[in-house]
């Protein structure tokens, strides 16, 4: 039986909007692994959420980083360059998703050019999906 596709529920979106409204004018990029069945849809959930907030969004670009994300139970990570740290908006997103048992790892990716104060949300396979990809 295939796993249930990941998505943000209406309730989760409402809570995330309330939490993230405190951080106007953010810059965010979302990338996803095109080999993961539900990654594009999940990326679109986050893109829609960020656009509703009025954030500057770089739309879901395909990216192959599954090996780095295979160890992450949720398949979600913030990608930061060596000189970047998570901005408060990303920390708030991470903390709000923890309420729902969704963890987001922070991974070092020196090849990423992240705008100052911005972040990249990467979507790869969830733990149960990555196990079936091996």
Could you report the per-residue pLDDT of 96-108, keeping only the tens digit for each?
A: 999 999 999 888 7
Are 33 and 124 contacting, i.e. CB atoms less than 8 angstroms apart? yes
Tens of pLDDT, residues 61-86: 666 655 555 546 688 999 887 666 78
Confidence of residue 93 (pLDDT cuts 50, 70, 90): very high
State residue 60's pLDDT score: 64
CA distance 83 to 45: 28
Domains and CATH numbers, the chain: 25-133 (3.30.70)
126 or 41, greater pLDDT:
41
Q: Does position 33 have pLDDT exceeding 50, yes or no?
A: yes
């Amino acid at each position: 039986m295939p796993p249930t596709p990941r998505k943000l529920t209406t309730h989760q979106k409402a809570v995330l909007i309330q939490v993230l409204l405190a951080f106007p004018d953010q810059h965010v990029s979302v990338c996803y692994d095109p080999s993961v069945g539900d990654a594009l849809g999940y990326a679109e959930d986050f893109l829609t959420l960020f656009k509703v907030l009025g954030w500057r969004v770089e739309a879901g670009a395909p990216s192959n980083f599954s090996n780095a994300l295979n160890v992450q139970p949720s398949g979600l990570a913030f990608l930061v360059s060596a000189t970047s740290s998570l901005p408060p908006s990303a920390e708030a997103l991470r903390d709000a998703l923890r309420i729902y048992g969704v963890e987001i790892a922070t991974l070092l990716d020196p090849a990423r050019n992240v705008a100052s104060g911005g972040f990249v949300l990467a979507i790869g396979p969830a733990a149960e999906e990555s196990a079936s990809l091996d």
